[in-house]
Amino acid sequence: MKNFLLQLREKMVQPREEEPLTEEFEEYVELEKKSEEKSKIIVRPFVMEDFEDIKEVLDALREGSTIALVNIKPLKDRDIVELKRAINKLRKTCDAIEGDIAGFGEDYIVAVPYFAQIHRTKPEVLE
């Protein structure tokens, strides 16, 4: 160990000879390629037939890389109270993750995470 420290000290104290610039630029560090799976955004359809189906949508939104298109027609036709509960839970989760949620037609809801925003048009005023 003592010899190692002495050699290290000698290297630090002795001035280094200037190396040509071309040699410095020839060496490079290879960076690892990021996983494309994690960097891609997924637009995923969901069908809500029961209140429990909302859990899968919420889990996907919390991951942060999924835009959810939720078909609410089966639950709307079956039980409007459960639909309201599910939408309320979805809205609270979107608020918590700083996402956005909006109706898309009569039978779909779009929910997006923090990095996206849903475009809304102003309603036309009837005269």
CATH number at residue 72: 3.30.110.150
Question: Burial letters for 21-60: b for 16+ Cβ neighbours within 10 Å, e otherwise?
Answer: eeeeeeeeeeeeeeeeeeeeeeeeebebeeeebbeebbeb
Task: Please give the model's pTM, rounded to 2 decimal places.
Answer: 0.63
* pLDDT averaged over every residue in the chain: 82
DSSP of 60-127: HHHHTSEEEEEE-HHHHHH-HHHHHHHHHHHHHHHHHTT-EEEEETTTEEEEE-TT-----PPPPPP-
Residue 105 burial class via C-beta count within 10 angstroms: exposed 0-12, middle 13-18, buried 19 and up: exposed
Structure tokens that stand for 27 in this block:
């060496």
Could you tell me if residue 106 is inside a domain? yes
Dig out the tokens for 13 from the structure. Answer: 């104290």
DSSP structural state of residue 15: P
Q: How many domains does the chain have?
A: 1
Q: Is the pLDDT at 105 greater than 90, yes or no? A: no
Which domain range does residue 90 map to?
36-112
Q: What is the pLDDT of residues 46-76, one digit of tens each?
A: 999 999 999 999 999 999 899 999 999 999 9
60 located within any domain: yes
pLDDT digits (tens, 9 = 90+) for 14-47: 555 555 555 555 666 776 665 555 578 999 999 9
